[in-house]
Amino acid sequence: MTRGAQRILEVRASDDVLVERIRGGDERAFFALYSRYARFVAGIAYRLIGDNSEVDDVVQDTFIALDRGIHKLQDPSKVKSWLAIVATRVVRKRLGKRSRRRWLSRQAEEMVPMRSNPNDQDRVELLYQALEKLSPRVRVPWAMHRIEGATLPETAERCGVSLATVKRRISSAAEKLRKQLGEEWV
């Protein structure tokens, strides 16, 4: 088979086929899956964190975790959801580290969010500044549901908690944001 034909097959192969091939040690399949979902993972990281500073690292850590845990993946067709769960966990850890660093240095880190419309920049900066004051435990579910647009069951799955817990955390975050920003955002 020519290299071009092989590439076409990789592009068209379904997730479960790619996962099976990765389990067999196929690097091309790993790259094909990476190309398919790297942007998706980057999007989650960006919208949960609010800037580009750690997007590369989140994508990297997520796909390293994929390599490490691919043999434990029970349903290969759900690799996308699995990546979202791992990316959420990686983001939560990083936000935790960030808030600990801030607590130690007692100063806010500079964020440079990029907006699709620069006119919205001030509003979105305000939102992320408010989110920075929340703990990752409530911030991540809120951002996953309200910004990323995940349904409540999806949010619960990605955050690794029950539906009831995720609702409680989203509500808690919304209450804190309401106090800081008013009704507009929550």
Partner 1 sequence: MADKSPLARLVGEPEWETLQERRVYARIREKVDAGEGRRAWPLRIGLAVAGVCVTIAGVLLVLHVVYQDGPAREPKVIAKQTSNVVVPPAPLPHMSLTDGSKIYLAAGAKMHVARQDSEAIHLVQQRGEVRYEVKKGLSRSFEVRVDDVRVRVVGTVFTVAATADAVQVTVRRGRVEVDRGGRTFTLGSKEQLKLPRQLRADEVTPKPAVKSPVKERRRVKKKTITRADLQTLLARVDAARRAGDLPRAAALLRDIMRNHRLGARKQALLFTLGKVEQGRKRFTVAAKIFSRCRAANPAGSLVEDALAGEALALSAGGNEARARALAQRYAARYPAGIHLRRLRSLLR
Q: Which is nearer to partner 1, 17 or 55 (CB)?
A: 55
Q: Which is nearer to partner 1, 74 or 119 (CB)?
A: 119
37 binds partner 1 (CB under 8 A): no
Distance CA 163, CA 154 (A): 9
Q: Which stretch binds partner 1 (CB under 8 A): 7-15, 38-46, 92-100, 164-172?
A: 38-46
- Check: CB of residue 67 under 8 Å from CB of residue 25: no
Distance CA 56, CA 54 (A): 6
Alpha-carbon torsion, ordered 68, 69, 70, 76, to 10 deg:
-160
Residues numbered 164-183 forming contacts with partner 1, rule: CB under 8 A? none
Q: Which of 12, 74, 117, 182 touches partner 1 (CB under 8 A)?
A: 117
Q: Which stretch binds partner 1 (CB under 8 A): 10-18, 71-79, 143-151, 161-169?
A: 143-151
Q: Which of 3, 12, 39, 71 touches partner 1 (CB under 8 A)?
A: 39
148 binds partner 1 (CB under 8 A): yes
Distance CA 119, CA 51 (A): 17
Report angle CA 47, 78, 72 to the nearest 5 degrees: 105
Distance CA 115, CA 164 (A): 33
Residues in the chain: 186
138 binds partner 1 (CB under 8 A): no
Q: Which residues bind partner 1 (CB under 8 A)?
A: 27, 31, 34-35, 38-39, 42-43, 45-47, 50, 52-53, 55-56, 59-61, 63-65, 67-68, 112-121, 123-124, 127, 146-151, 154, 185
